[in-house]
Chain A
Amino acid sequence: AQSVAQPEDQVNVAEGNPLTVKCTYSVSGNPYLFWYVQYPNRGLQFLLKYITGDNLVKGSYGFEAEFNKSQTSFHLKKPSALVSDSALYFCAVRRFINTGTASKLTFGTGTRLQVTL
């Protein structure tokens, strides 16, 4: 079985400060990890993913995430937060089955990011 934990329901950050949204995962084998963001009244938008290679992956809107295999974590980060980053963020994991098989995503409960002036 695979699972994702997002330990913080909400993260509050002042604009211009760095932000971190935490995510840990559990999966058998190699994980494929994703971050999605949901703005109010919108669907989930893909931010970034880790498949293999460099542990630091860069994504949309200046976000990046660091894969840490020993800590089974994939924390989302941004050096300087914007008020417009305020949204709901979901971490997700996918188990590798084989190169020809697509499979479901397992999500965390989401973390609400609130960036204030």
Chain B
Amino acid sequence: EAGVTQFPSHSVIEKGQTVTLRCDPISGHDNLYWYRRVMGKEIKFLLHFVKESKQDESGMPNNRFLAERTGGTYSTLKVQPAELEDSGVYFCASSQERGPNREQYFGPGTRLTVT
């Protein structure tokens, strides 16, 4: 079974540019999560999809971030325009559970550097 995949693995962009990150969850997993880790700090929740619907987007930092999951399969996270403080590692995770007791499976992350 293929794991969670993320693309690209690294992205370096200039302030003001746009970047789109992609996540492909494990096949059949309805729950998809985005998290972010800024250098040396905790991994912070951004948002949670159940199929194509946003279940919880309380962690999205501002309206420069837009997440979509059309068709309930892969998801994209767009940052437009990017700011310096957006630099960090963006993780995607998926899970199949209906309840909260199942672990989430994480992708390798996308390292975003905004210069």
Query: Which residues of A lie under 8 Å from residue B109 when comparing CB positions?
Result: 43
Which B residues between 86 and 103 are near A, CB-CB below 8 angstroms?
91, 93, 95, 97-103
Q: Shortest beta-carbon distance, A60 to chain B, in Å? A: 11
Report B-chain residues with C-beta under 8 Å of the C-beta of A97. 100
Q: Is the CB of B100 within 8 A of A103?
A: yes
**Closest beta carbon of chain A to B75's beta carbon, Å:** 15
8 Å CB contact of B95 from A32, A101, A102, A110: A102
Most chain B beta-carbon neighbours within 10 Å: one of A101, A102, A103, A108: A102
Q: Which residue of A lies closest to B6 (CB)?
A: A43
Asked if B69 is an interface residue, CB under 8 A from chain A, the answer is no
Interface size on B, residues (CB 8 A): 32
B102 cross-chain contacts in A, Cβ below 8 A = 102
The answer to the question of A4 belonging to the interface, with a C-beta cut-off of 8 Å to chain B, is yes
The chain B residue with its CB closest to the CB of A45 is B106
Q: Mark A1-39, 1 if CB is under 8 A from B, else 0.
A: 000100000000000000000000000000010101000
B106 touches A36 (CB 8 A): yes
* Alpha-carbon distance A51/B45, docked complex (angstroms): 21
A-B contact pairs, 29 of them (CB 8 A): A42-B108, A43-B91, A43-B107, A44-B43, A44-B93, A45-B106, A46-B104, A46-B105, A94-B100, A95-B100, A97-B100, A99-B98, A99-B99, A100-B99, A102-B31, A102-B48, A102-B50, A102-B97, A102-B100, A102-B102, A103-B56, A103-B100, A104-B33, A104-B45, A104-B56, A105-B104, A107-B42, A109-B41, A109-B42
Please report A residues at the B interface, Cβ cutoff 8 Å. Answer: 4, 32, 34, 36, 41-46, 49, 51, 90, 92, 94-97, 99-110
